[in-house]
């Protein structure tokens, strides 16, 4: 059954692959893109996420609801170099085996990431292919161990973006060297084990079907597969359909995140997640 | 099972969108700018442009938000009077202040490249 889910949800991503010689990509919610603000430009991105998790095999807690506010500042530093700082704030509600609930809130690790574009080929008015390298670290906010890792965790990776016509495709691969964190508080990539994130996003411009001289914005449907492997053997695939609008100086996005397939022994499974985000370019 | 059905339905909807090619059933061809040898050579010219308006033919304007990178960068230049991006034509029309020293084609080529796009050719008015 788990594999049937995977097969069904993979359809749009496979379609993206088949159409890949004609597509172009913007940035979906959970997948990186090889695009960046030009030198001196700023992008402020604010996202609200809700995740519901099932039973935690290590603590015995029956359920955890996590509300997360992720604020990101992205600034262009040079021709092909940008800096991104992500500050996630979280609110967590846990239900234990006896049915009692407890609330906690805090600031999670702050992620600082440099993005360096190593390849760019612009082949048409809207067509582009780009590759960027990513490097940085998650730095503890100093909050308690339920939210912050009390450590510095370097990460390294890359991202490929292609936009062609109405289509976009992004693929990232990011390895995080975790040096802190606890297994009990880990909801995915936050524990003491290293983590490999691999995310695929397909975007399709539903309106306008053709840009004109009057075009000032565009609507996209998005489909993502979000993968996470941890060196303790836990592996998970999530499926994230969404809708996105991009104007000339702002954008917004709404997403759902659903489980596809997993083999998790040391952390709870995701029941579902939803997200809402805004972007502003200065 | 409910999750399975929901994922399947979403896959079909998105898969259908991806294959439909839009309401007209025609895939967007899109603008592809090309330049002659003379037009390409002109982009290396370092002499200031003698005009009040320059049309930049740009490749890579992949999305509305991305294209704003050019607006913002050009607006910071002293010589800029106005900037208008046309996503349909893949052009950026740059109005120049007559009282300021105009940029050269090479200046504009590098500025567009720094913004993450490719300047293919220019025309002046």
Quote the domain boundaries for residue A185.
2-281
* 8 Å CB contact of A212 and B12: no
Domain ranges of chain B: 37-124
B10 pLDDT exceeds 80? no
Task: Output the average pLDDT for chain A.
Answer: 90
- A217-230 and A195-207 strand pairing: antiparallel
What letter does residue A24 receive in the DSSP assignment? B
Residue B1's pLDDT is: 38
- Count of the separate structural domains present in chain A: 1
Position B125 confidence tier, pLDDT thresholds 50, 70, 90? confident
pLDDT at A23: 29
Mean pLDDT computed over B66-71: 88
CB B77 within 8 A of CB A40: no
* A258: contact with B, CB 8 A cutoff: yes
Q: Which residue has the tokens 């998105």?
A: B14
Degrees (nearest 5) of the Cα angle A63, A201, A280? 85
Task: Considering the domain delimited by B37-124, tell me its CATH architecture.
Answer: 2-Layer Sandwich (3.30)
Question: Considering only alpha carbons, which residue of chain B is nearest residue A272?
Answer: B3
Helix (H) or strand (E) holding B5: helix B2-20
Kindly report the pTM of this predicted structure.
0.86
ipTM of the predicted assembly exceeds 0.90? no
Q: Which of A39, A209, A249 sits opposite B28 (nearest CB)?
A: A209
Q: Residue B26: is its pLDDT beyond 50?
A: no
pLDDT tens-digit profile of A147-168?
999 999 999 999 999 999 999 9
* Interchain CB distance below 8 Å, B65 and A249: yes
Give the three-state DSSP class for A17. helix
| Rounded-to-5 percentages of helix, strand, coil across chain A | 5, 60, 35
* First CA to last CA distance, chain B: 64
pLDDT in tens, A13-56: 333 333 333 323 368 999 999 999 999 999 999 999 999 999 99
Q: Please report, for the domain that includes residue A37, its CATH number.
A: 2.40.160.40
Residue among A37, A25, A11, A30 at smallest CA distance from A220: A25
State what percent of residues in chain A have pLDDT above 90.
Answer: 83
Q: Which of A74 and A2 is assigned the larger pLDDT?
A: A74
* Structural contact between residues A167 and B18, judged by C-beta atoms closer than 8 angstroms: yes
Handedness of CA A154, A160, A165, A168 (dihedral sign): negative
Instruction: Give the C-alpha distances (Å, rounded to integers) separating B71 from A27, A38, A212, B61.
Output: 20, 10, 18, 12
Model confidence band, residue A146 (pLDDT cutoffs 50, 70, 90)? confident
């Amino acid at each position: 059954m788990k594999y049937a889910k995977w097969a069904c949800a993979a359809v749009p991503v496979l379609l993206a692959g088949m159409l890949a010689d004609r597509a172009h990509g913007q940035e979906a919610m959970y997948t990186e893109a090889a695009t960046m603000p030009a030198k001196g430009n700023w992008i402020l991105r604010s996202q609200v996420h809700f995740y519901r998790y099932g039973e935690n095999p290590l603590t015995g807690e029956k359920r955890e609801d996590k509300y997360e506010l992720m604020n990101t500042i992205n600034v262009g530093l040079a021709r092909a170099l940008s800096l991104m700082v992500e500050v996630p704030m979280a609110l967590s509600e846990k239900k234990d085996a006896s049915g009692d609930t407890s609330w906690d809130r805090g600031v999670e690790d702050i992620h600082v990431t440099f993005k360096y574009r190593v390849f760019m080929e612009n082949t048409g008015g809207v067509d582009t292919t780009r590759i960027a390298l990513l490097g940085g670290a998650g730095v503890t906010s100093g909050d308690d161990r339920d939210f912050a890792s009390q450590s510095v965790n370097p990460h390294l990776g890359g991202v490929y973006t292609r936009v062609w016509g109405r289509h976009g495709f992004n693929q990232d691969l990011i390895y995080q060297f975790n040096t802190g964190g606890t297994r009990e508080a880990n909801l995915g990539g936050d524990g003491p084990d290293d983590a490999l994130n691999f995310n695929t996003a397909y975007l399709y411009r539903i309106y306008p079907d053709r840009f004109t001289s009057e075009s000032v914005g565009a609507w996209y449907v998005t489909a993502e597969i979000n993968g996470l492997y941890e060196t303790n053997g836990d592996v998970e695939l999530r499926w994230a359909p969404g809708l996105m609008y991009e104007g000339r100086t702002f954008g917004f996005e709404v997403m759902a995140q659903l489980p596809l397939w997993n083999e998790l022994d040391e952390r709870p499974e995701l029941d579902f997640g939803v997200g809402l985000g805004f972007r502003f370019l200065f | 099972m409910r999750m399975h059905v929901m994922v399947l339905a979403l896959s079909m909807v998105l898969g259908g969108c991806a294959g439909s090619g839009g309401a007209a059933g025609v895939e967007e061809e899109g603008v592809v700018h090309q330049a002659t040898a003379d037009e390409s050579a002109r982009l290396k010219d370092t002499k200031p442009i003698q005009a009040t308006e320059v049309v930049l033919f740009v490749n890579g304007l992949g999305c509305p938000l991305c294209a704003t990178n050019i607006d913002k960068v050009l607006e910071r230049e002293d010589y800029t009077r106005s900037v208008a991006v046309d996503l349909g034509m893949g052009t950026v029309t740059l109005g120049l202040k007559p009282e300021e020293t105009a940029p050269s084609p090479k200046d504009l080529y590098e500025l567009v490249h720094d913004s993450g796009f490719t300047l293919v050719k220019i025309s002046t008015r």
